[in-house]
Structure 1
Amino acid sequence: MPLTIGQVAERTGLSVHTLRFYEKEGLFAMPVRRVGGQRVYGEAELEWLYLCTRLRASGMPLPMIREYAELVREGPATVEARLSLLRDHRERVTARVAELQGCLDLVSRKVAMYEEHLAAGGDDPLWAGSHLARDAEPERREFRR
């Protein structure tokens, strides 16, 4: 059953403005159909939008999504190029997940440190020194550039 742009916005959580922007930027794999001058969307467009929003959420830039959509439009001869594009993106996502896991580990250590301090009644003599030095010392690392 065809959906209007407003219905798609409601179902996807994307604004009407964003849907128009995606269309204008060539992010749809197939052209959005028009009936009586109105955009109409079907299940294929909804599935494509879901893919696009997941790619965006994973950090894929819009120009890369556009490139992917162009490859899809070009057909089966571009399968290897699409695979390559997605593999490259997967590597970036994997690296970002590892970076975020390191951040989570650090925050978790800090939470545990504060919970232990509070559980001990907050009277640990080691906490009498500079709070800035105490918070930074166990976590000193080389900064990556």
Structure 2
Amino acid sequence: MTTLTPSQAAESLGVSAETLRYWERADILSPVGRDAGGRRVYTDGDLESIDVIKCLRETAMPIRTVREFVELARLGVGTELARLQMLRAHRERVLEDLRRQQDALEHIEHKIAHYEQITGWPR
């Protein structure tokens, strides 16, 4: 079993150590183990949980909803359907966000082409 310090865990997952502490305080991340000196140590299981939380947050799932999802996961067996429904609903929100972003990108590309045409750029 791998154990990492907070800074190692943060670096390996692309989040800040402060983010990890915040998620723990916000009861999104289960309290992590401690070494003999009382310092936090992150296990492979912690890293997997952090990776899921990071994914949900990067796709704009509200903290409150992430907390609900994590609480269901902690309860374990019998909560799979509820978690599936949460993830499906979230997927729909993410897909809608992507559609809006794609529409905006197309508009920006159109404007770039327009300004390139009238300015003669790029040369």
TM-score by length of 1: 0.75
State the distance in 2 between where 1:116 and 1:27 align. 51
After superposition, residues 31-70 of structure 1 pair within 5 angstroms as 31-36=31-36, 37-70=38-71
How far 1:11 moved relative to its partner? 2.1
Q: Which whole-Å deviations, capped at 9, do the CAs of 1:94-124 have from their partners, x for residues lacking one?
A: 111111111011111111111222339xxxx
Q: Which residue of structure 2 lines up, in the alignment, with residue 78 of structure 1? A: 79
> Corresponding residue for 1:111?
112
- More off after superposition, 111-120 vs 63-72: 111-120
Deviation at 1:9?
2.4
Return the offset for 1:90: 0.7
3-state SS in 2 of match to 1:77:
coil
Residue 88 of structure 1: aligned partner? 89
TM-score by length of 2: 0.87
Q: Any stretches of 5+ residues in structure 2 without a counterpart?
A: none
Q: Deviations over 1:41-82 (max 9, x none)?
A: 111211221221121111111111111110000012000000
Structure 2 counterpart SS, 1:40: strand
Percent identity of paired positions between Structure 1 and Structure 2: 39
By relative contact order (CA 8 Å, sep 6+), the higher-ranking structure is: 2
What is the letter of the counterpart of residue 113 of structure 1? H
Report the Cα distance in structure 2 between the residues aligned to 1:107 and 1:60, rounded to whole angstroms: 26
Runs of 4+ in 1 over 6 A off after TM superposition: none
Once residues 109 and 15 of structure 1 are traced to their aligned partners in structure 2, the CA distance between those partners, rounded to angstroms, is 37
Gaps of 5+ in 1: 121-145
Distance (whole Å) between structure 1 residues aligned to residue 68 and residue 117 of structure 2: 51
Structure number with greater Rg is: 1
* Cα distance in 2, alignment partners of residues 11 and 42 from structure 1: 12
Amino acid in structure 1 at the alignment position of 2:33: R
CA-atom RMSD in angstroms: 1.7
